[in-house]
Amino acid sequence: MAWCEECDTLVEDEDLGEEGECPTCGTILAEQERGPLPWYFKYLVLATVVYLGYRTFQGVTWVIHHV
């Protein structure tokens, strides 16, 4: 069941539209299904890890040369 704030009423699951919308006002009420992480998110994480690793390596190298 979902609560429609527009209509101020409770909507039964079987009354929801195909997109999970309210049959009266059309507001989407159903929780959108969360699919798998988008592919670019993995690359973003990978890029961040590589970048941070590189910066850490740079920092360590700098320290070694300046101690």
**Size, binding site for Zn ion by CB under 5 A:** 6
Minimum gap (Å) between residue 32 Cβ and Zn ion? 17
- Is residue 24 close enough to count as binding Zn ion by CB under 5 A? yes
Residue nearest to Zn ion (CB): 22
- Cα separation, 9 vs 25, in Å, equals 11
Under the criterion CB under 5 A, does residue 5 sit at the interface with Zn ion? no
Q: E strands, the chain, where? A: 2-4, 9-11
**HSE of 8, CA atoms in CB hemisphere, 13 A:** 0
User: Residues interacting with Zn ion, by CB under 5 A?
Assistant: 4, 6-7, 22, 24-25
